[in-house]
Structure 1
């Protein structure tokens, strides 16, 4: 299991044990982490699972692929560490990953 910490926009922390091979989004949904809507179910067809990867983890997580970049255009308040959590695959090297959940608009 890999530990992921989700930090809601109000500062609330959610520490989750995530199975390797799953996605950061799937684990947020499974553990009812607020702020990750995942309307498309993880198909990289919306931006409702947008997160900010903690600066310390951005190099390990990597940069978005072209399709994810296109979807991030629909996210609110995109930053250099913005990612769609459906596109971050959990692995042992991500043990301790911290992601921040932006405040949702609408």
Structure 2
């Protein structure tokens, strides 16, 4: 949910800009592209950093899992997961999934 994510970043005034983009376009945004759309310097920086964090979610999840399995405190992982739930996630496509499964099956 991109609008909720932008609101959590206090950047909801840019929701209309993001509503025009695909997930892939959003994930590939640069400061130059945002500047061309008249996004303020502070907001551009915040958006680019936040998108970088989105790209690092998989590694963060693995790290959280490792911490939990090693008997770590659950409070921090739960807080991280709560924040992650607010971030945009690419829509699931069964067609994409079945294509990936066929690729994996062919490799086996």
What TM-score, normalized to structure 1? Answer: 0.30
Max Rg structure? 2
Higher-RCO chain (CA-CA 8 Å, sequence separation at least 6): 1
Question: Whose strand proportion is higher, 1 or 2?
Answer: 1
TM-score, structure 2 normalization? 0.30
